[in-house]
Amino acid sequence: MDKEKKLVRKTLAIVAIAAIGTSFAVTSPSSAKAEQINTSKNVIPNNVKFTEQSKNSAYQNLDERLTTMLKSAASWYGPYGHHTIRATELTGSNIENSIIENSQLLTVGEDTFENTLGHEITYRTTGYEHEFQETTSTTNTSGWTFGYNYNASLSVMGATASHQFSVDYNMSTSNTIEKSQKRKFTVPSQEIPIPSGKKYKVEYRFEKLTISGSSRINADLFGDVTYMWNNQPLSPNLLYSALNKATNKQGFEQVIRDTSLTPEWNDKFGVRATGIGAFRTEFGTRLIARISDVTDTKNPVTVQTKTIPVKFETISENIKVIE
C-alpha cells in the first residue's frame, strides 16, 4: 500500500481573515449527519461503511460497539433483533491543554526613507504580496471509527490565551490526516510621516505559531432497537432506554438534544460515544510593522510598532492520509 493516499472528502475550510490584528477567525464547530440506517444480525447495509484498520486492530467501528451494548440488554428485553439509526451528529470541542510549540516572527519586507528637507514629509511604503505555507495534521485517537455516512468530518475550534484556530478531523479512519495550504496576503501601502533630518526604517514582521493539543469528539446516535420474543419482533425501544438496561455499556452515555433540531420528539433521545483527537497546526496570525529611527545607525530607536490589517487568500490546498 502506498505511504500516502489522496483523501477524497469534503473539507471544512478555515474562514479567510479580514483583519488579523486581534484574533484568528475560524469556522464554527460543525456536525456531520447521517441518513436512517437499519442494521440486523446478519446483514450489513450498503450505506454503512466499515473501515478496515490495518494500522491498529484496536480500532473498532462505532456501530459494532453499539451492537455489543444493545445485545448486553437482552436479559431484560429478549434476544437482540436489529437496530435502526435515524440520525447522527459529530461535534467537537477543544481540550484546554493546547501548547504553543513554536512562535516565529519573520521579517518579510522593509523600506527605508530619509528626509533631507526642512519640514516633515509623508512617504508611502511599497505594497507587495507574501506567500507562506500552513500545515495541520489531525489523528483520531478515540479507539473507534465513525462509519455511518460518507462524510465523517468535523471542524473543531481551539484557542490559546491569545489566538483562536480551527482543525479538521476525519473520524472514518485512525490514520493521520495532513492538510497543507499555500496562502498569501497583500501588504497594503502605508503612509509614514518622517520628520526633517530623520531617516526611518519600516520592517514588516509576520508571526507564525505552531500549536499542538487534543480535542474532545462526541458521536451522538439517535434511533431504536428491536428485540425478539418467540421469534417475533417486539415494539422498538429507544437506544436511549436500552442503554439503561445494558450490562456492557461500551463507554456510551445517554444524551438529549434540543428538540428544535428534529421534528420527531423521540429522536431527541440518543446515546453518545466520546473520544479524543490529537492535532498539530502551524498557521499565520498577524503582520506587524515596526518603524525605527535609524538616523544614528549605531543607536536605532523604535518609534512605533503596529499591527497591519491584511487579507489572506488560499492559493492551493492538499489533503493526504498518512498511514
Q: What is the pLDDT of residues 58-114, one digit of tens each?
A: 578 999 999 999 999 999 999 999 999 988 989 998 877 788 888 888 988 899 999
Q: Given a cut of 60, is residue 255 above it in pLDDT? A: yes
Burial class of 172 by CB neighbour count within 10 A (0 to 12, 13 to 18, 19+): buried
Q: Are 74 and 252 in contact (CB under 8 A)?
A: no
Per-residue confidence band for 15, with pLDDT thresholds at 50, 70 and 90: very low
Q: Given a cut of 70, is residue 304 above it in pLDDT? A: yes
Q: Given a cut of 90, is residue 153 above it in pLDDT? A: no
User: What is the predicted pLDDT for the residue at 99?
Assistant: 86
Half-sphere exposure of 112 (CA within 13 A, CB side): 6
The more confident residue out of 173 and 160 is 173
Convert the chain into a string of H (helix), E (strand) and C (coil).
CCCEEECCCCCCCCCCCCCCCCCCCCCCCCCCCCCCEEEECCCCCCCCCCCCCCCCCCCEEHHHHHHHHHHCCHHHHCCEEEEEEEEEEEEEEECCCCEEEEEEEEEEEEEEEECCCCCCEEEECCCEEEEEEEEEEEEECCCEECCCCCCCEEEEEEECCCCEEEEEEECCCCCEEEEEEEEEEEECCCEEEECCCCEEEEEEEEEEEEEEEEEEEEEEEEEEEEEEECCEECCCEEHHHHHHHCCCCCCCEEEECCHHHCCCHHHHEEEEEEEEEEEEEEEEEEEEEEEEECCCCCCCEEEEEEEECCCEEEEEEEEEEEC
Percent of the chain scoring above 90 in pLDDT: 56
The more confident residue out of 286 and 35 is 286
User: What is the predicted pLDDT for the residue at 3?
Assistant: 39
pLDDT (average), residues 193-197: 96
User: What is the predicted pLDDT for the residue at 290?
Assistant: 95
Torsion, Cα 301 187 157 4, to 10 degrees, reads -110
Task: Indicate the residue type of 50.
Answer: F
Cell numbers of 255, please? 444524551
Per-residue confidence band for 5, with pLDDT thresholds at 50, 70 and 90: very low
Cβ count near 31 (within 10 Å): 15
User: What is the predicted pLDDT for the residue at 47?
Assistant: 32
User: What is the predicted pLDDT for the residue at 187?
Assistant: 86
The more confident residue out of 231 and 165 is 231
Q: What does the buried/exposed string (b/e) look like for 246-264 if buried means 16 or more CB atoms within 10 Å of the residue's CB?
A: beebbebeebebeeeeeee
User: What is the predicted pLDDT for the residue at 52?
Assistant: 36
Q: Given a cut of 60, is residue 31 above it in pLDDT? A: no
At a CB cut-off of 8 Å and minimum separation 6, what does 204 contact? Answer: 107, 108, 109, 110, 187, 287, 288, 289, 308
